[in-house]
């Protein structure tokens, strides 16, 4: 579950946390576009390293590192799949360029994880929901969205309790071949689904008891307002995007292998 | 004026043959502090759900008889209407808080009502103040202790400005000190604001001192109903599996051995005062 840890929000006060969620969403979007726009190792490397200072400014380096560690298995999978296909495609011959290209694809994935985790680590789901509401998305959808984020740790805790309970009754999870191992998880899954349904029913009861659905025109205690920094950040992101597109069109980025060899 | 009035209330859950409530007659006056107790499965929770219309609107099933709460027929008014007059606090604090800050959670109800922002802010401030949760305002509910969470849950129903506050075993996940604080908070709401309290509770030793009235349910019916002293002295509570308040038991044991106290104590404090009267010459 450690890959999810990077996505759990904790409220602290940093310039990044204070940014409007819409600006941070734009940032994630721009990074996504940039990561797809370039496939050269050098460009992607700059993009990856360029985001690192944000993590320190937002003081989320520890949870971020844990997400990165959690995604290690996927990273290796992406790297070796890329390398193997290139190797096979070239008639089972290896060339340093393949290594560089595979690394670039892996970096692309890492950049996406990086920017998405910066977004979710520094954006309160409440604010996110508010941003969605102000964008005209129906409230029930926003509520379902934030609730699913909020319940993730609670359900993870339930799962741990059930695992402990079943283990204490002699259930062995790490036994047998792949298929038996999957089967071993059935005694975990069934109670987990039941408790989760029960939990959501209780939640629904509590919502009803607090006048859920009383009016179509729901009001909100807080409202998002774009400040000066938010506008500056937006302009900066747009300039960055334009610049990147310009570089893409006008320049050929050399590959590292040709620079070294 | 009666704020809750039930006549011949009988309810059967869908896909159940046995009724959970049988012919319940109940009148609660405005401003009363009522403890509702009884063995598990006796219908306490079902009665609570009727009071704000979760039964029949959310649960379905068959509701017969009459139930008026704050002058409204429960069958004819939806839960969101009733919720503005009856607040319901649940057993598990975790599943009744939705947001990532306490403040936002308390605002949830008034927001649903579509109140103006200024009014919501005032209600949040007021509810925080009344429940002593102002220091928790910007904290996340999941970081709080069970007792703090439960007080936030009370604040969030309080923000609806209810006439009646129904608490369904609010302390069963709490330690004794947390429970004590809940009872004190609820008692203040009752005495200072005149809010009618229906408290479903097993911890009679701690809660009884605040109550005007104790109702014991059994098997879907009201078995005993009276002042705490009347109910505990009737000697029937133990047979119903509710147990007995320890200081009342002490009073009865002393009486059996020939020592009669001037009055029936409900709290240890009262007991010690009464004992002192007898012991000091």
Domain boundaries, chain B: 2-240, 245-281
Q: How far apart are CA A102 and CA A86, in angstroms?
A: 8
Closest CA to A131 of A226, A42, A66: A226
* B98·A147 Cβ contact <8 A: yes
Give the model's pLDDT for residue A8: 65
* B103·A203 Cβ contact <8 A: no
Closest CA to A70 of A149, A5, A153, A165: A5
Three-state DSSP state, B222:
strand
Quick one: average pLDDT of A162-191?
A: 88
Q: Looking at the complex, report in whole angstroms how far the Cα of residue B123 sits from the nearest Cα belonging to chain A.
A: 11
CB contacts of B83 in chain A (<8 Å) are 208-211, 214
Are the C-beta atoms of residues B259 and B279 closer than 8 Å to each other?
no
Q: Any chain A CB within 8 A of the CB of B92?
A: yes
Give the pLDDT confidence of A39-53 residue by residue, as tens digits: 899 999 999 999 999
Integer angstrom CA distances of residue B95 from A147, B118, B171: 11, 28, 14
* A214·B103 Cβ contact <8 A: no
When pLDDT is cut at 50, 70 and 90, the band that residue A5 belongs to is low
Q: Which residue, among A143, A210, A215, would best test binding to B if mutated, counting the most B CBs under 10 Å from its CB? A: A210
Angle between helices A61-70 and A96-122 (to 10 degrees): 130
By percentage, how much of chain B surpasses pLDDT 90?
84
Q: Looking at the complex, report in whole angstroms how far the Cα of residue A122 sits from the nearest Cα belonging to chain B.
A: 13
Three-state DSSP state, B37:
strand
Q: What is the residue-averaged pLDDT of chain B?
A: 93
Give the model's pLDDT for residue B131: 95
**Sequence spans of domains, chain A:** 2-129+227-232+244-260, 136-208
Integer angstrom CA distances of residue A36 from A66, A108, A255: 25, 8, 17
Q: Any chain A CB within 8 A of the CB of B165?
A: no
Rg of chain B on CA atoms, in Å: 20
Three-state DSSP state, A90:
coil
- Dihedral of CA atoms B133, B134, B140, B142 in degrees, nearest 10, equals -10
Chain A's closest residue to B120, CA to CA, is: A221
* B80·A213 Cβ contact <8 A: yes
Q: What is the residue-averaged pLDDT of chain A?
A: 89
Q: How far apart are CA B53 and CA B78, in angstroms?
A: 6
When pLDDT is cut at 50, 70 and 90, the band that residue A3 belongs to is very low
CB contacts of A220 in chain B (<8 Å) are 107, 111, 117
Give the model's pLDDT for residue A104: 93
Higher pLDDT, A156 or A232: A232
pLDDT at B21 over 80: yes
Closest CA to B19 of B42, B51, B48: B42
For B2-240, CATH number?
3.40.50.300
Q: How far apart are CA A228 and CA B175, in angstroms?
A: 48
Give the pLDDT confidence of A23-36 residue by residue, as tens digits: 999 999 999 999 99
When pLDDT is cut at 50, 70 and 90, the band that residue A157 belongs to is confident
CB contacts of B104 in chain A (<8 Å) are 126, 221-222
CB contacts of A125 in chain B (<8 Å) are 100
> Which residues are CB-neighbours of B108 under 8 A, at least 6 positions away?
A210, B98, B99, B156
Bridge-partner residues for B215, per DSSP? B36, B225
CB contacts of A206 in chain B (<8 Å) are 88, 90, 95-96, 98
A-side interface with B, Cβ within 8 Å? 9, 11, 124-126, 143, 146-147, 150, 153-154, 199, 202-215, 217-223
Give the model's pLDDT for residue B236: 86
Give the pLDDT confidence of B120-140 residue by residue, as tens digits: 999 999 999 999 999 999 998
DSSP string, B80-144: HHHTTTEEEE-S-GGGG--SSSHHHHHHHHHHHTT--HHHHHHHHHHHHHHTT-GGGTTS-GGGS
User: Which range, A253-257, B105-109, B240-244, has the best average confidence (pLDDT)?
Assistant: B105-109
Q: State yes or no: cis peptide before B62, omega within 30 of 0.
A: no
Closest CA to B9 of B56, B78, B41, B79: B56
When pLDDT is cut at 50, 70 and 90, the band that residue A2 belongs to is very low
Q: Looking at the complex, report in whole angstroms how far the Cα of residue B109 sits from the nearest Cα belonging to chain A.
A: 5
Give the model's pLDDT for residue A184: 85
Bin B236: left if φ > 0, else alpha if -120 < ψ < 50, else beta: alpha
Q: How far apart are CA B236 and CA B222, in angstroms?
A: 13
Q: How far apart are CA A232 and CA A240, in angstroms?
A: 12
* B100·A9 Cβ contact <8 A: yes
Query: ipTM above 0.85?
Result: yes
Q: How far apart are CA B102 and CA A155, in angstroms?
A: 21
Give me the residues of B, 26-65, that contact A with CB < 8 A. 49, 52, 54, 57-58
Angle between helices A125-134 and A21-37 (to 10 degrees): 90
Residue with tokens 């009856």: B86
CB contacts of A195 in chain B (<8 Å) are none
Chain B's closest residue to A218, CA to CA, is: B114
């Amino acid at each position: 579950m450690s890959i999810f840890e990077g996505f759990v929000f904790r409220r602290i006060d940093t310039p990044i946390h204070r940014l409007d969620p819409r600006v941070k969403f734009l940032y994630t979007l721009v990074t996504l576009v940039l990561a797809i726009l370039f496939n050269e190792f050098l460009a992607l490397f700059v993009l990856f390293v360029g985001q690192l200072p944000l993590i320190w400014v937002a003081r989320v380096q520890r949870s971020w590192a844990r997400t990165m560690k959690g995604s290690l298995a996927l990273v290796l999978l992406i790297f070796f799949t890329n390398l193997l296909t290139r190797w096979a495609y070239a008639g089972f011959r290896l060339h340093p360029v393949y290594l560089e290209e595979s690394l670039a694809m892996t970096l692309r994935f890492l950049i996406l994880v990086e920017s998405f985790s910066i977004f979710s680590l520094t954006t309160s789901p409440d604010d996110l929901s508010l941003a969605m509401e102000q964008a005209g998305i129906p409230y029930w959808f926003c509520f379902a969205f934030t609730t699913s984020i909020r319940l993730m740790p609670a359900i993870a805790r339930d799962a741990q309790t059930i695992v402990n309970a079943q283990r204490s009754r002699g259930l062995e999870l790490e036994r047998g071949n792949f298929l038996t191992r999957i089967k071993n998880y059935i005694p975990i899954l069934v109670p987990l689904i039941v408790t989760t349904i029960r939990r959501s029913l209780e939640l629904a009861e509590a919502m009803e008891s607090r006048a859920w659905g009383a009016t179509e025109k729901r009001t909100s205690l807080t409202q998002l307002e774009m400040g000066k920094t938010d506008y500056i950040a937006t302009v900066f992101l747009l300039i960055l995007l334009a610049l990147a597109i310009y570089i893409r069109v006008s320049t050929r980025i050399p590959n590292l292998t040709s620079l070294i060899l | 004026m009666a704020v809750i009035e039930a006549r011949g209330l009988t309810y059967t859950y869908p896909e159940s043959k046995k009724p959970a409530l049988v012919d319940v007659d109940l009148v609660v006056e405005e401003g009363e502090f009522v403890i509702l107790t009884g063995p598990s499965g006796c219908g306490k929770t079902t009665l609570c759900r009727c009071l704000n219309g979760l039964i029949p609107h959310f649960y379905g099933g068959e509701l017969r008889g009459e139930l008026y709460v704050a002058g409204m027929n429960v069958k004819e008014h939806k839960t969101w209407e009733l919720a503005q007059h009856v607040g319901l606090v649940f057993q598990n604090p975790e599943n009744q808080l939705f947001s990532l800050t306490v403040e936002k959670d308390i605002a949830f109800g008034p927001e649903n009502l579509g109140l103006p922002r200024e009014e919501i802010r005032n209600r949040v401030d007021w509810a925080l103040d009344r429940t002593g949760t102002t220091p928790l305002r910007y904290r996340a509910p999941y970081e709080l202790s069970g007792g703090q969470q439960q007080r936030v849950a009370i604040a969030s129903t309080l923000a609806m400005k209810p006439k009646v506050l129904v608490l369904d075993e609010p302390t069963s996940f709490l330690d004794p000190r947390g429970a004590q604080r809940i009872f004190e908070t609820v008692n203040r709401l009752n005495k200072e604001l005149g809010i009618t309290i229906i408290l479903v509770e097993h911890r009679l030793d701690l809660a009884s001192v605040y109550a005007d009235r104790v109702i014991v349910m059994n098997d879907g019916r009201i078995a005993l109903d009276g002042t705490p002293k009347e109910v505990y002295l009737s000697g029937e509570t133990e047979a119903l599996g509710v147990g007995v308040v320890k200081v009342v038991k002490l009073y009865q044991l002393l009486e059996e051995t020939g020592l009669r106290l001037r009055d029936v104590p409900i709290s240890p404090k009262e007991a010690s005062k009464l004992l002192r009267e007898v012991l000091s010459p």
